[in-house]
Amino acid sequence: MDDIIEESQEDGDLLDNTSEIITFDDVDYVVGSWDSTAHNGFPALESYESHNPLSENGIKIVKLAAIISDKELPGFDTYPQFHGFMSKKVGTPTYQSNYIASYIYLTNKAVGLYNSTTPSAPAGLSSYDKSGIDTYLTTSSFNGKTWTTLLAGNTVNATNKALFVYGIAMHSVTDLYAHSTYDKDGNYIDHKYVSELIGADTPSVVSNRFECAEVMAQILIAHIKRFESGDISDFYTVANVPYDWSSFKLGRLSTYAQQVNSSYYNTYKDVFDIMNINK
Nearest residue to Zn ion, by Cβ distance, number only: 33
Given its phi and psi angles, is residue 183 left (phi above 0), alpha (psi -120 to 50 degrees) or beta? beta
| Residues forming a β-bridge with 251 | 277
Q: Smallest gap, in angstroms, from Cβ of residue 257 to Zn ion?
A: 22
By CB under 5 A, residue 175 contacts Zn ion: yes
Interface pick for Zn ion out of 70, 201, 231, 234 (rule CB under 5 A): 70
User: CB under 8 Å to 26, separation ≥6 — which residues?
Assistant: none
From the CB of residue 116, how many other CB atoms can be counted at a distance below 10 Å? 8
> Which segments within 52-169 are labelled E, that is strand?
87-88, 95-96, 141-142, 145-146
Of residues 14 and 271, the one with the C-beta less far from Zn ion: 14
Of residues 172 and 258, the one with the C-beta less far from Zn ion: 172
Instruction: Let me know: does 175 contact 83? Beta carbons within 8 Å.
Output: yes
DSSP, residue by residue, 54-78 = --HHHHHHHHHTTTHHHHHS--TTT
Interface pick for Zn ion out of 5, 8, 14, 33 (rule CB under 5 A): 33
Of residues 31 and 123, the one with the C-beta less far from Zn ion: 31
Interface pick for Zn ion out of 21, 66, 75, 83 (rule CB under 5 A): 83
Of residues 75 and 258, the one with the C-beta less far from Zn ion: 75
Count, residues near Zn ion per rule CB under 5 A: 4
Q: Which stretch binds Zn ion (CB under 5 A): 5-13, 63-71, 140-148, 245-253?
A: 63-71
Instruction: Let me know: does 189 contact 179? Beta carbons within 8 Å.
Output: no
Q: Smallest gap, in angstroms, from Cβ of residue 264 to Zn ion?
A: 27
Residues that bind Zn ion (CB under 5 A): 33, 70, 83, 175
